[in-house]
Every structure is written in structure tokens, then in C-alpha cells.
Amino acid sequence: MRREHGTPRDGWEKTIESQGLAYHRAAHPEGLARPYWDESVHYVFSLEEIESLEEQVEELHGMCLQAVDHVITTGRFADFAIPEWAHEEVARSWQRRDPYVYARFDLRYDGTGPAKLLEYNADTPTALVESSVVQWFWLKDTHPESDQWNSVHERLVDRWKEVRLPPGPTHFAWTSLDETGEEAMTLAYLQETAELAGLGTIAVAMEDIGWDALNRRFVDLEERMIRSVFKLYPWEWMLDEPFGRHAVRHSTWIEPLWKTLLSNKALLAVLWELFPGHQNLLPAYLDGPRDMSAYIAKPLLGREGASMRIVAPGMDLETPGEYGREGYMYQAFEALPEFEGQRPVLGAWVVADEPAGLGIRETTGLITDDTSSFVPHRIHPSE
């Protein structure tokens, strides 16, 4: 694994916008000199490294499913800050094996040892368009002799063919709360993959989904019944809203309700309990940092690196945010590896139950947040 430099393509901004990354200018806070999509650099991996990462991701995913089953069979919903009224519904969702499509692991990896799990974005993962489409076309334009860990698009189409959904079109729901356009473009891309698989689809805003109390069903603005819906609206938000009690019992939601357990930082502590000392895990606890001299406190439902605290010898760093009322998970702190002053996080995609690809975000800081940039990668054919 190494970081290499290159010359950006002429007109790269218009190129990536035409490929679906229309939000790249808005995805960053204003005032940053570095663009969100940065093809002036990229990471190079050997085939052996990628094959090893695939094996590790597949094993991690299997461990996470075991953790979900453990939480449900032992009734540990309170550790995940799930409201009591929803406990049985989460369990039923798992027991039914409600259909799911994709997720993304965030990993610490420097090329010299096993990857370490930082979190599992299994409910509303983004950075999908750039991982699946944009960096693939970058590779074809700039390094056609190389390969890339990237079968995301094909696997998504195949997955939509496999999932068993109720009859009728599947709604794809975006929210007007997203001001960058990232969510709308991500939904549009996923809707396209579903259509390529032969599904009928309808786009709808979450704010335009209504509850038909008389017929006890969700409907869109045209009064069409919503039987199945893909959303990038977090389950913890849905459970906190009045219609949440209806949502857990009506319509097929993707990602499903049981994924509230995978997208919660408490998962990391449960994994450490079930698989102590595993090479891909960092020590993690729910009741405090215990005897760890260096740790990071993560809110159970935090996003984009907000409301975190790093405590280590000579260091006490906090990030702003409004998360944490739901509780914290305490994970051993290992600084992200540094390559030329930048610290990458590997986003490893899983579609269905199979490793599917890689996206990389990097930053100069210790915590990956909304100031981070996305950089492409390639597999060198002779390494």
C-alpha cells in the first residue's frame, strides 16, 4: 500500500459531475483549499493485499451477523439505546430476515498488518457513487492497465434481482434535510441499479410519505400504497418520530429495522465481548474506558466524527457535535496511519453478504469528518 501522485484530467469537475458526483462542491465545508474529490493522488495496492482485505471483510461481516443474533437472543437492546417499545419489532425483523442490500465497513489499515474495524455503516452508508462509479471511470481513463477492488455496481444489480419484495414498485425516499445533494444523487444511483435489475421504482421525499389511518398503510402524494421503500433516513430518527410506531409494522423498509444493531457503535463492544483479541478488532467497552490509557469515546448514534473525544498520553481532543445523550462506546485508540501527512480510512463495501469494493477518504486530522477528501485507488498489475 502506497500513496502516489498524478495529474488530474482536464475538465475533471465536469466529468465527475456527469457521472453522478454533482454534489462534490457542496460536500465540503466552505473555505477548504482541497476539493472533496481529489484525483491528484491515489493509493496503490498489491493484489495480495486486496485479497487479504476481502477475506478479512467477509469474516468481519459474518461476525457482525453473529453479534446481531446474540443481542436479540439475550435481549440487550438497551445497550443500543433502542426504545423499549421497539425491542420486539427489531427482533421480529431479524427473525423474518427482512431483506437488506449493502453496507460499508470503516477500517484502519496501513498495509503492514490486519485491518482494524472502526465502525460499520450498515443503515445509511454514503460515498457510494464515488466508490462504485466515479473512481472506476478514473481508473479506465488514467490507468487502464491496472485493476481496482470494485464490483459494487454489478453486485448491487444482482442483489436487487435476489431480494424478495412485495408486489408493486419500490419507492426510493430522499429527504429535503440534505442540502448538499449527496443523498438525492445516492438514491438516484441506487434507484438506477434497481431498475437495471428489472424492478419498478418511484422516487419520493420522506417528508411526502403519508400515513393512511383508515386503511393502515403508508402512501405517497398520489395516494399510491407504499409496499416497499429504500431510504437513507436513519432508523434512530424514524423511531424517534410519531410515525415510527407505524413504520416498524408496515411496509418493507430497506435497509431493514434489524440493521439498527449493526449501525450502532455499541456493536463494537459486543464484538469485542464475543471475539476477544480478534486480529481485526480493537478493545471496546460500554461501561467506560476501563484500563485503557489511550481510547476514543464515540456516541452510540454519532455521525461524521461529531461529539467524539480522544484521550491518550499528552492528548485530550474533542470534536463538536450534539450527539451523546444516547450514551457512548469506548474503543482503544490507534491513530490512523500517516501517508505524506494524510491519514486514510478504508471504506470496504459489502453487498448482500459479499465483499464488493473499496473507497478511501483521507484527512490531516485524527478523526475522519466532513472535511475529508475522497481519493481513488488501483491495484498494480505486477504487485
Q: Say which range, 1-10, 20-29, 248-257, 357-366, has the weakest mean pLDDT.
A: 20-29
Which has the higher per-residue pLDDT, 139 or 26?
Answer: 139
pLDDT on residue 178: 82
Helix (H, G, I), strand (E, B) or coil at 360: strand
pLDDT exceeds cutoff 90 at 225: yes
The radius of gyration of the chain's CA atoms, rounded to the nearest angstrom, is 20
pLDDT on residue 151: 98
Q: Say which range, 143-157, 245-259, 305-319, has the weakest mean pLDDT.
A: 305-319
Alpha-carbon distance 212 to 365, whole Å?
Answer: 48
pLDDT on residue 370: 77
Q: pTM surpassing 0.75?
A: yes
Residue 119's φ and ψ, nearest 5 degrees, are: -170, 170
Alpha-carbon distance 341 to 97, whole Å?
Answer: 44
**What value does the mean pLDDT of the chain take?**
95
The pLDDT-based confidence of 371 (bands split at 50, 70, 90) is confident
CB 191 within 8 A of CB 182: no
What is the arithmetic mean of pLDDT over 313-333?
A: 93
pLDDT on residue 383: 61
Beta bridge partners of 365: none
